[in-house]
A = this chain, B = another copy of it.
Amino acid sequence: MSTPVGRRELNKAANREAIAGAALAFLRNRALNEFTVDDVAAEAGVSRRTFFNYFSSVEAAVASFTQDYLDSVITALEARPVDEPILESAQLALADVGSPHDLAVLAETFALTQDPALGRFQLQAWDECTVKIADVARRRLPQGTDELYINAMVGAVVGAGRAAIVVWHERNGTDTSPTSLAQLRELLATAIALIRNGFQS
C-alpha cells in the first residue's frame, strides 16, 4: 500500500476528523435533536454543504469512530500468520488492538447507543465488519468450507465480541484506565474462547 500524502489528502483527512470530532463534542453536552448539522459544520469550520460531502448525517459521522476501530481490528487480523487457527488469530488480534485513546472514544460512542438513531449506525458498522471478517475467514479456511460454517462462526465471533464490550461498558462505564482496559481484553479473550469451546456446559 502506497501512502501518497499531498495537501489534498491531508486536508480531506483533517476535515473528516474535524467534522466527526465536532459531532461527538456536541453529543457530549446535548441530545441528538438538540443541535443541527449547521451547528456541527460551524464548529468544524466548514460549510453545511461540506459536512454532507463527508457524512450523510450526524449519526454517520459518529459511527465513523466505531468503523475505524473495527477496521483496525480487521487489519490486525489480516496481519496474523495464515497457518494459525483462525479463532486464535481473532483472540490475538483483539488483544493487540486499540490505543487507550481509541478505546476511550469507543467506550464513549458506545454509551451514546442509548439513542436509537445513533445505535442503528453503530450496528451497521458492526454488520459491515462481519462481512469483511467473513471475507478474511473465507480466504484462510480450506477451500470449499461450508458457507454456513464460515458465516455462523463469524456471526458468533462478532456477536460475542460485541457482547464482551457491552458487559465491559456496563461494568466500567467510560473508565479507560490501564486496569479497565486489561479487563476489556480479558473479556474479549473469554468471549472468543467460549465460541471456540461451545456452550455445552
Binding site for B on A (CB under 8 A): 87, 116, 119-121, 123-124, 126-127, 130, 147-149, 151-164, 166-167, 170, 187, 190-191, 194-200
Contacts and interface: CB of A to CB of B under 8 A. Distances in A.
Contacts of A126: 123
B153 A167 contact: no
Please tell me how many copies of the chain the complex holds: 2
13 contacts: A87-B199, A120-B124, A123-B123, A123-B124, A147-B167, A147-B170, A148-B163, A149-B199, A151-B167, A152-B159, A154-B163, A156-B159, A156-B163
Contact of A156 (B123, B127, B195): B195
Given A147-B167, A155-B160, 15 more contacts: A123-B126, A148-B163, A148-B187, A148-B191, A149-B194, A151-B163, A151-B166, A151-B167, A152-B190, A153-B199, A154-B159, A155-B156, A156-B195, A159-B160, A196-B198
